Amino acid sequence: MKSTEIRRSFLDYFAERGHRLVKSSPLVLPSDPTLLFANAGMNQFKDSFTGRESRDYRRAATVQKCLRVSGKHNDLETVGRTPRHHTFFEMLGNFSFGDYFKRDAIEMAWQLITGVWGVPEDRLWVTVFGGTDRLAADDEAFAIWRDRIGVAPERILRLGEADNFWRMGETGPCGPCSELHYDLGADLISVTGRSTPETDSRRYMEIWNLVFMEFEQAVGGELLPLPAPSIDTGMGLERISAVLQDKRSNFETDLFRPLVAAIAARSGVEPGATENSDFSMRVIADHARAVCFLVADGVVPSNDKRGYVLRRLLRRAIRHGRKLGMDGPFLDPITAVVIERMAETYPELLAAREAIDEVTRREELRFGETLSSGLVLLDEWLAALPPAETGAARVLPGESLFRLHDTFGFPLDLARDVADERGVVLDEAGFDREMHQQRERARASWKGGKVASEPGVWKSLAAELMTKFVGYSEVELEAVPVLAVLHEGRTVDELIAGQTGEVVLAATPFYAESGGQVADTGWIVGAEGRAEVLDVRRPVAGLIVHRVRVDVGRLVLREPVRAEVDRARRAAVRRNHTATHLLHASLREVVGLHVKQAGSLVAPDRLRFDFSHFRATSDSAVEEVEARVNAQILADLPVETVEMNLDEALDSGAMALFGEKYADRVRVVRVADLSVELCGGTHCQRTGEIGLFKLTAERGVAAGTRRVEALTGGASLARFRSDHAIVRSLEEQLAIPAERIVDEIGQRLKQLREVERQLEAARVSGVRERLLQELGQAGQVGGVKILVQRVDGLSAAETRELADSLRQKLGSGVVVLGRSDGDKASLLVGVTDDLKSRVPAGELVRELARIIGGGGGGRPDLAEAGGRDATRLQEALDAATDVVARRMEATG
């Protein structure tokens, strides 16, 4: 049975039994920030188990894309070492949300495996949950297997929590489970005692896990009962394919064979050559699949979270490629096989084909260098490690690791892989120490230009004071007490006119720079003077510090002041911030869901937005994005800002930046149903305030990162005006209407080029005419005519052509042309055929070229030379007559 048929027959079987066939979710689950990647079929139904969501069906079946590379379910390190572990795999599953329970689940599973697929009963074993102190044993499942199915009691094992109590993660639905195991054959026995699925993982393979969902694990570990007992089953397609295709390794099934063959073809290493080369082939085959599916679901390599997993998989694959002797990029033909074989079931692979090529090629080139230099060194060091005392492992010191990392950018996890294979342990604590010291050094040098005591001062101030930020609703505040004044890093009682320093207020409407939004500017005005606010920072949590310059009078500690934000500037910033959210949402819609914010600047005069994307955004996409944002502005949509708990916010689907730390209470900014983002910035109340949104630039700024810039409000109007003024002035000067300007300029440039060409031709023919006239007066030496001329300003080709025609006109003689171009000079010699044996052009030019500090040569009738010293060109030309005379004499 082919794997495609197995998928089909699984789904058909459960569809016939009243199950809704549901599509696999993407690997990156849109609704679950607790998971890096989908790791089980039940993930997308999490809320249906807990009752938070209800669907119009209570039975479902899926083939789910899974990736087990992190968290509770992580097989990354095991891949390749066994015949049956994978990072990416497909999980066949049937589910009941409060519908059927244990008995039906067990009966349906047994009937499919033995009845429909014909797996012999005597090769199957069963496990059930044996209970712990706090969780009851699953006697019910045991009885169903024994009494209803007829499995011999000695083939039903009762195992502990680690094996037979399934959890999705630290939180989420869970329950006791029951597994089906398949006996691959007694010749595989790998233990001395009793060989059972519990003791012998070589001989037995788990094929299907039936989870009897009964609880939800809360934060802290407490088990709460689910609204109704439910079923979640999972069977790896790769394993059941091995069983039904009678293979002992998943890598021998039709899911992997073509991949292994492609690797063998590309590397020239035969499958089965050595244990190590097989290991590498398995890793590459596995990782190639994972990479394709990750990219297709919008992940791009980065140094953070999901992107890092992708990068790590790519790098491991690349390293194993090296081990098979593949030095350059090699993944392309292998990912091509993944796409070709899987696209029928997963069409997203076809759509992502280019992205997959691009991502893998880039990473292969980039990582290739790191790898080459780092690996050589690491290999040397590992080989040179002294043997350890008996029983102890050899250890690679932290300093070496740090050097590898610091000098070559060699990733620690890769070093761990390599060391692991040689039985060496890494001194990671030592590595951390070195990293820490380096950070300290960097900090010390950075502090050079700053007030040394400052961070300390802020810390101690923050312990006593706090600034309340009121800037979301206010831009001006009356009678706020000045809590602290600093001058040159020290607390003082006042700042006087001309002085620059810092001021802390009890409350402030001033926004401190954060999340890409620049700080507010404005004024602090007291009874005795006024200061301009130049910058605002939040050096420690709870403390907002204004950097000010007093321009009139004085600013005094404890006095009440008025804090006044520059309103027009704030309004401009606000427009750009709300526009940034609209831009982000539109980019995701137009360019793709893989677009993620990679950096942002929200300033009064413009906005800048960096995002992950591996190619230039097409002109039409840029236009589309701009049009969408403007349509949303014209629709004058409400912008709502609410505070809520982080969990609530994430549940509501708010876009959070991965790798960013959020407080428990967060602000969520929502624009109609278009955009929901966690954001601490200041925003418009309605999109209409933004005014015209104009994109002004789109370009790449780093591998996989694009940047767009845009204008809104007054700035886009100003740009429109200045562009318009240019057009108007062009209209006037050219005396034509605007719509004809582009054509007109094109035409005129064309004419100009034509005129230049004609002028050039006239100049060349002028020189030629003059020289031809002078032919008559060509000098005679030793009986030959010789014409020596300077032709500065002609091109090399023109000179050559001229020399040739002069040579022919001469009938019998020698032509020497010299030209200078800046510092450089060149010489060209032409000799008529009758003389070329007596005065070969090549030798003549070589001799003359010495004078201009150069060399050259060529045919006996036509030869060229260049030199670096144009100041001596005339000297070289003057020498020509003598040299020719000497040669004539010598050969006469």
Give how far Cα 389 sits from Cα of 381, 426, 427, Å. Answer: 18, 16, 17
**207 counts as binding ligand SER under rule CB under 6 A:** no
Query: Are 226 and 216 contacting, i.e. CB atoms less than 8 angstroms apart?
Result: yes
Which residue, 105 or 285, is less far from ligand SER as judged by CB? 105
Burial group, residue 261, by CB count within 10 angstroms (0-12, 13-18, 19+): middle
Q: Is 232 in the site for ligand SER (CB under 6 A)?
A: yes
172 makes contact with ligand SER (CB under 6 A) = no
Choose one: 231-239, 453-461, 467-475, 484-492; the region binding ligand SER (CB under 6 A). 231-239
Rounded to whole angstroms, how far apart are CA atoms 373 and 371? 6
Task: Tell me the residue number closest to ligand SER, measured at CB.
Answer: 234
At its nearest, how many Å lie between ligand SER and the CB of residue 235? 8
41 binds ligand SER (CB under 6 A): yes
- For position 402 contacting ligand SER by CB under 6 A, the verdict is no
What is the nearest approach in angstroms of ligand SER to the Cβ of residue 177?
Answer: 7
Q: Residue 839, SS3?
A: coil
Q: In the bound complex, what is the minimum distance in angstroms from residue 348's beta carbon to ligand SER?
A: 22
Q: In terms of Cα–Cα distance, which of 661, 662, 684, 659 is closest to 671?
A: 684
Applying CB under 6 A, the span of 226-234, 307-315, 535-543, 588-596 interacting with ligand SER comes to 226-234
Task: Please pick, from the candidates 36, 109, 128, 211, the single residue that binds ligand SER as defined by CB under 6 A.
Answer: 211
Cβ 142 vs Cβ 176: under 8 Å: no
CB of 115 to ligand SER, least distance (A): 21
The reply to whether 49 sits near ligand SER by the rule CB under 6 A is no
Q: Based on CB atoms, which residue is closest to ligand SER, 229 or 234?
A: 234
Nearer Cβ to ligand SER (211/666): 211
| Identity of the residue, 40 or 519, whose beta carbon is nearer to ligand SER in the bound complex | 40
For 367-374, the CB contacts below 8 A with 24+ separation are: 367/314, 367/315, 367/318, 368/318, 368/327, 368/328, 368/329, 370/408, 370/409, 370/410, 371/315, 371/318, 371/319, 371/322, 371/410, 373/408, 374/404, 374/408, 374/409, 374/410
Q: Are 55 and 257 in contact (CB under 8 A)?
A: no
Q: What is the DSSP string of 412-475?
A: HHHHHHHHHHTTEEE-HHHHHHHHHHHHHHHHHHHHTTS-TTHHHHHHHHHHH---EE-TTT-S
> With CB under 6 A, what is the number of residues at the site for ligand SER?
10
Indicate the residue among 23 and 194 with the shorter CB distance to ligand SER.
23
Cβ of residue 88: shortest distance to ligand SER, in angstroms?
14
Alpha helices in 811-853, H assignment, sequence order: 841-849
40 near ligand SER, judged by CB under 6 A? yes
Least CB distance to ligand SER at residue 201 (A): 16
**Residue 62 in contact with ligand SER, rule: CB under 6 A:** no
Please identify, using beta-carbon distances, which residue of 70 and 500 lies nearer to ligand SER: 70
What is the spatial distance between Cα 400 and Cα 445, in angstroms, rounded to a whole number?
24
Residue 497 burial (C-beta neighbours within 10 Å; 0-12, 13-18, 19+): middle
Binder among 42, 108, 237, 571 for ligand SER (CB under 6 A): 42
Instruction: Please give the Cα distance from 827 to 807 (Å, whole number).
Output: 15
Q: Which of 3, 209, 600, 675 binds ligand SER (CB under 6 A)?
A: 209
Chain centroid to Cα 557, Å, comes to: 50
Shortest Cβ distance from residue 153 to ligand SER (Å)?
A: 25
β-pairing, 813-821 vs 824-831, is: antiparallel
Nearer to ligand SER among residue 231 and residue 649 (C-beta): 231
Stretch that binds ligand SER, among 36-44, 294-302, 499-507, 867-875 (CB under 6 A): 36-44
Stretch in the footprint of ligand SER (CB under 6 A) among 125-133, 230-238, 398-406, 497-505: 230-238
Applying CB under 6 A, among 80, 93, 197, 522 the residue interacting with ligand SER is 93
Tokens standing for 355?
A: 């992205």
Given the rule CB under 6 A, which of 40-48, 442-450, 764-772, 809-817 is the region that contacts ligand SER?
Answer: 40-48
The stretch near ligand SER (CB under 6 A) out of 34-42, 142-150, 618-626, 636-644 is 34-42
234 binds ligand SER (CB under 6 A): yes
Residue nearer to ligand SER on the CB measure, 62 or 467: 62
Q: How far is Cα 103 from Cα 634, in angstroms, rounded to an integer?
A: 59
> Least separation, in Å, of the C-beta of 166 and ligand SER?
5
Can residue 233 be called a binding residue for ligand SER (CB under 6 A)? yes
CA distance 686 to 859: 80
Minimum distance, C-beta of residue 73 to ligand SER, in the bound complex (Å): 7
Q: Answer whether 677's CB lies under 8 Å from 655's CB.
A: yes
Smallest distance from ligand SER to CB 191, Å: 24
User: One symbol per residue from 324 to 363: x for binding ligand SER (CB under 6 A), - otherwise; what is it?
Assistant: ----------------------------------------
- Least separation in angstroms between CB 28 and ligand SER: 18
For position 298 contacting ligand SER by CB under 6 A, the verdict is no
Give the gyration radius of the chain's Cα atoms.
39
Strand partners, 694: 711
**Position among 166, 308, 330, 402 found at the interface with ligand SER (CB under 6 A):** 166
Question: Which residues make beta-bridge pairs with 79?
Answer: 82
Measured between alpha carbons, how far is residue 23 from residues 13, 41, 44, 64 in Å? 16, 10, 10, 8
* CA–CA dist 867, 873 (Å, integer): 9
Minimum CB distance to ligand SER smaller for 239 or for 577: 239
Q: How far is the CB of 41 from ligand SER (least distance, A)?
A: 5
Q: Which two tokens stand for residue 773?
A: 């006239």
Q: 486 and 492 in contact (C-beta within 8 Å)? A: yes
Residue with tokens 């929502």: 670
Which chain residues interact with ligand SER by CB under 6 A? 40-42, 93, 166, 209, 211, 232-234
